[in-house]
């Protein structure tokens, strides 16, 4: 079976699964890259994937574009992601061939998103192209994507759970024990761009509360962005510069190594976070994840009290001048519980690693995807009750 994925760019969010699909299909797989890589679409990755044997760069030449179009018309299954994939998707669906559309949620900001050129174009193409009656299914890279599609009368009863799947290292039990060891001081980690919708004010305000309660901890905040100076100023203003450290951007491999030295990962984005691959990475590294409940990956990855905690999402309009106190209260409550229950925290770290290894590793999800495709080709539905490729 020939499988082809059409997507904006091959980056660290997709390369791990792509590598596995190449092997599991006995090299009958192609990733069609649609846009020339640049700093904005690399998703913070620094790795070069140009030498992947399955990579076809449709943007490089007319010849490559034509080859990509031919694959869209001949492959047994194609997966399309993003507006640049639409010409290939339209051509394929005119022939009524098995296909998937892959995306995060369409209505991140609510109904106003329907008026964005990209979403409106996709919406109109679906309905006026008769795609409802085609063998076209949805891979949902957000726990909220299926709900959005239902509201828009698109992909109803055709949505399957998907996401972004990062590397899961099978390090041995001794390394795991070192990763989640108790120690005298709890180490918390926050890693993101310092942007409004990432809400860097929340971990700083949380640190202030934890310090006031006499708890022993260090909070490391990784990344860069326009709100980093505001975060530094707030740290100094609140007098928590002895427990909050700012660390510049690092290569992904170094970030993963640092995650293994922390106990808790704080993820404070609002509903504008489509998936959030750092959630996968932190859990696989042995951190207990405490994440906003509007982040796209949160409902899929967090089993409350077992693999982490979700907390009330900050409203999008909140920030340094008007922090969301309800979100802060809930965040602090969940983190304090982890401080006070070290045995349960260590168990949760083990469960997190196990979930990543057994359900969300690139090898597992690639195999699941191929099985789902085979089932759909033979007129059956997904064989999975939960996890990737189960019904959303």
pLDDT tens digits, one per residue of 264-296: 999 999 999 999 999 999 999 999 999 999 999
Name the token pair of 161.
Answer: 């759970």
Q: Which of 9-23, 172-186, 228-242, 273-287 has the lowest mean pLDDT?
A: 172-186
Distance CA 154, CA 182 (A): 48
Summarised one tens digit per residue, pLDDT across range 302-348 is: 999 999 999 999 999 999 999 999 999 999 999 999 999 999 999 99
Contact status, residue 180 vs residue 140, Cβ threshold 8 Å: no
- Given this model, what pLDDT does residue 172 score? 53
Q: Outline where 290-340 has alpha helix (H).
A: 298-301, 325-340
pLDDT for the residue numbered 4? 99
pLDDT at 181: 56
CB 220 within 8 A of CB 306: no
60 DSSP β-pair partners: none
- Say whether pLDDT at 390 is over 90: yes
Delineate the domains of the chain, giving CATH numbers in brackets. Answer: 3-165+361-377 (3.40.50.2000), 173-358 (3.40.50.2000)
Helix axes of 201-212 and 228-238: crossing angle, nearest 10 degrees: 20
pLDDT of 53 > 70? The answer is: yes
Q: Which long-range contacts (CB under 8 A, 24 or more apart) does 231-235 make?
A: 231/194, 231/200, 231/201, 231/204, 234/201, 234/204, 234/205, 234/320, 235/204, 235/207
Residue 260 to residue 249: CA distance in whole angstroms: 17
Question: What value does the mean pLDDT of the chain take?
Answer: 95
Which of 35-39, 113-117, 148-152, 165-169 has the least mean pLDDT?
Answer: 35-39
> Looking at the predicted structure, is the pLDDT value of residue 239 above 80?
yes
Answer yes or no: is pLDDT of 134 > 60. yes
pLDDT tens for each residue of 367-378: 999 999 999 999
Nearest to 102 by CA among 71, 146, 157: 146
- Phi, then psi, of 189 in degrees rounded to 5: -130, 140
Q: What is the pLDDT of residues 175-213, one digit of tens each?
A: 555 555 556 789 999 999 999 999 999 999 999 999 999
Q: How far apart are CA 246 and CA 75, in angstroms?
A: 48
pLDDT above 80 for 107? yes
Q: What is the pLDDT of residue 42?
A: 60
Of the candidates 72, 149, 64, 59, the one whose C-alpha atom is nearest the C-alpha of residue 104 is 149
Neighbour-count burial for 111-137, b at 16+ CB within 10 Å, e otherwise:
eebeeeeebeebbeebeeeebeebebb
Confidence (pLDDT) at 173: 52
Give the model's pLDDT for residue 47.
77
């Amino acid at each position: 079976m020939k499988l082809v994925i059409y997507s904006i760019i091959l980056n660290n969010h997709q390369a791990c699964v792509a590598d596995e699909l190449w092997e599991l299909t006995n090299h009958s797989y192609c990733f069609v890259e649609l846009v020339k890589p640049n700093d904005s679409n690399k998703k913070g990755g620094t790795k070069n994937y140009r030498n992947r044997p399955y990579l076809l760069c449709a943007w490089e030449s007319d010849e490559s574009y034509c080859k990509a179009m031919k694959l869209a018309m001949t492959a047994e299954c194609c997966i399309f992601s993003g507006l640049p994939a639409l010409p290939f998707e339209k051509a394929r669906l005119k022939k009524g061939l098995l296909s998937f559309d892959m995306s995060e949620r369409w209505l991140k900001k609510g109904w106003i998103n329907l008026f964005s050129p990209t979403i409106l174009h996709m919406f109109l193409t679906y309905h006026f192209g008769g795609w409802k009656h085609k063998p076209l299914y949805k891979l949902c890279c957000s726990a909220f994507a299926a709900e959005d599609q239902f509201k828009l009368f698109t992909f109803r009863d055709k949505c399957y759970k998907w996401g972004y799947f990062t590397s899961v290292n099978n390090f041995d039990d001794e390394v795991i024990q070192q990763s989640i060891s108790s120690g005298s001081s709890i180490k918390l980690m926050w890693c993101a761009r310092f942007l409004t919708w990432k809400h860097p004010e929340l971990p700083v305000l949380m640190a202030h509360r934890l310090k006031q309660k006499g708890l022993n901890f260090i909070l490391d905040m990784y990344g860069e962005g326009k709100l980093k100076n505001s975060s530094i100023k707030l740290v100094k203003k609140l007098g928590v510069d002895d427990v909050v450290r700012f660390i510049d951007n690092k290569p992904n491999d170094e970030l993963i190594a640092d995650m293994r030295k922390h106990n808790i990962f704080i993820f404070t984005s609002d509903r504008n976070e489509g998936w959030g691959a750092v959630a996968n990475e932190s859990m696989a590294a042995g951190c207990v994840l405490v994440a906003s409940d509007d982040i796209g990956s949160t409902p899929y990855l967090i089993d409350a009290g077992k693999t982490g905690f979700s907390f009330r999402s900050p409203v999008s309009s909140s920030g340094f001048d008007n922090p969301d106190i309800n979100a802060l209260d809930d965040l602090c409550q969940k983190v304090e519980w982890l401080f006070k229950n070290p045995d349960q925290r260590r168990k949760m770290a083990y469960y997190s690693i196990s979930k990543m290894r057994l359900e969300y590793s690139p090898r597992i999800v690639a195999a699941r995807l191929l099985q789902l495709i085979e089932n759909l080709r033979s007129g059956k539905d997904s064989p999975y009750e939960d996890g990737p490729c189960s019904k959303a």
